[in-house]
Amino acid sequence: MTLQTPPVYIAGVAETPLGEVWDQTELSMVALAAREAVAEAGMTLRDVDGIFVNYMGEEGSVQVGEYLGIQPRYADSSDLGGAAFEAFIHHAMLAVAAGRCEVALVAYASRQRTRRGRSMVRARDGSSLASQFEVPYGLPSPIGLYALIAARHMHQYGTTPEQLAAIAVAARQWARLNPKAWSRDPLTVQDVLASRMISDPLHRLDCCLVTDGGGAVIVTTAARARNAAKRAVRVLGAGESHTHWHISQMPDLTVSAGGVSGKQAFEMAGITPADVDVLEPYDSFTITVLMALEDMGFCAKGEGGRFVERNRLGPGGDLPALTSGGGLSYNHPGALGLLLLVEAVRQLRGEAGDRQVKEAKIAVAHGVGGFFSTAGTVVLARE
């Protein structure tokens, strides 16, 4: 069933400082991005009456609100990992449409690289089910769990390491066109396969970067969006889903929550995968992209490997994807979902410079969180 809501728009987007950030805190990074995003929307921080944040301290929206001097009418700090920000667009769209707030700020920042705060080891003290039933078997988190999924996909469908590597190559081709990308050196399939094996079958270059970064997005009404300093982009549809937390409870290792979130978003937007001009899929690992393509319906289940061959996702391909360079080559600050939205909006505005996709009218941002645990999908349109 398609949910009918009043039109809602993204009127401003911005990145925080990226890469290695030594001269800011996470809160000051958010403040910089929020000021830039509200300026694009033709507003100031005083106009913001909704806050949607994740991973920003123990109380999330409370700390951000205090720092920015905002007492919101509506706040949300739901934890869906990397998919939280696509889910926040969904929540903000519904809140704005219902009149619970008029100007929603979706924000995030991380200094995981400079803080050396990204651990691959889950707690071993017995305080969680994972420490009791999964950690003793030795899979490093999260890469070992994604490697398990990749291995199953290879076994079940014949997916090859070369096909996964093609995704990393496509991301790097786009990154070479993005002056803000962390990794811009040339990359080949053989380079990916020759990189160190981290967790079989995933090599180092099948894995995302570890960087600092974040961003801000402003969601608002059609009436407020008319006064934006830059072209506002309409939110056509959104969806979200989660299936499990422990990998042992994943219903099917080759099917992600994106099958549900993608269907919800596409149905709300009234589109099909064939209508998508630009795709910004979460690329924590190369397998994350391949599964998203299948589960959102860009190809049939099991055909993702063949689908990504012949540079289909790269510049000049028939499904431009990862156009910023993605988490594999541009930036991955622990949770990438917000930066996917920033890139999608810039593509629809025609602001992407050398990496601009011609005549981009419909873009999809697809976030993934946890251990393929959560998914959020947003369909955006240039009007």
- Domain-wise residue ranges, the chain: 8-116+212-236, 139-209+238-381
Residue recorded with tokens 């106009």: 47
> Could you read off the pLDDT of 259-277 as tens digits, one per residue?
999 999 999 999 999 999 9
Are the folds of 8-116+212-236 and 139-209+238-381 the same?
yes
> Could you read off the pLDDT of 287-322 as tens digits, one per residue?
999 999 999 999 999 999 999 999 999 999 999 999
pLDDT of residue 5: 75
Query: Which residues, 6 or more positions from 17, have their beta carbon under 8 angstroms from its beta carbon?
Result: 24, 29, 32, 212, 213
Query: Which residues, 6 or more positions from 351, have their beta carbon under 8 angstroms from its beta carbon?
Result: none
Measured distance CA(209)–CA(347) in Å, rounded: 22
What confidence tier does 1 reach under pLDDT thresholds 50, 70, 90?
very low
Instruction: Kindly give the pairing relationship between strand 362-369 and strand 103-110.
Output: unpaired
Radius of gyration of the CA atoms of the chain, in A: 19
pLDDT of residue 124: 55
Taking the alpha carbons at both ends of the chain, their separation in whole angstroms is 24
Query: Which residues, 6 or more positions from 304, have their beta carbon under 8 angstroms from its beta carbon?
Result: 153, 157, 159, 163, 290, 291, 293, 294
Measured distance CA(9)–CA(231) in Å, rounded: 10
Q: Cis peptide leading into 179, omega within 30 of 0? A: no
Q: Residue-wise over 225-243: b if at least 16 C-beta within 10 A, else e?
A: beebebbbbbbbbbbbbbb
Instruction: Please tell me the least confidently modeled range out of 114-123, 244-253, 320-329.
Output: 114-123
Helix axes 286-295, 143-157, angle to 10 degrees: 50
> Could you read off the pLDDT of 69-94 as tens digits, one per residue?
999 999 999 989 999 999 999 999 99
Over residues 200-206, mean pLDDT:
98
> Could you read off the pLDDT of 4-37 as tens digits, one per residue?
678 999 999 999 999 999 999 999 999 999 999 9
How many C-beta atoms surround the C-beta of residue 117 within 10 A?
12
Asked if pLDDT for residue 3 goes beyond 80, the answer is no
The model's pTM is 0.95
Query: Which residues, 6 or more positions from 363, have their beta carbon under 8 angstroms from its beta carbon?
Result: 276, 277, 278, 279, 280, 344, 345, 347, 348, 379, 380, 381
Mean pLDDT of the chain: 94
The sign one gets for the Cα dihedral 186, 191, 197, 202 is: positive
- Please report, rounded to a whole number, the percentage of residues in the chain having pLDDT higher than 90: 88
What confidence tier does 182 reach under pLDDT thresholds 50, 70, 90?
very high
Measured distance CA(325)–CA(184) in Å, rounded: 9
- The topology under which CATH files domain 139-209+238-381 is Peroxisomal Thiolase; Chain A, domain 1 (3.40.47)
Over residues 105-124, mean pLDDT:
79
> Could you read off the pLDDT of 373-382 as tens digits, one per residue?
999 999 999 9
HEC per residue, 89-107? HHHHHHHHHCCCCCEEEEE
- The topology under which CATH files domain 8-116+212-236 is Peroxisomal Thiolase; Chain A, domain 1 (3.40.47)
> Could you read off the pLDDT of 136-179 as tens digits, one per residue?
777 788 999 999 999 999 999 999 999 999 999 999 999 999 99
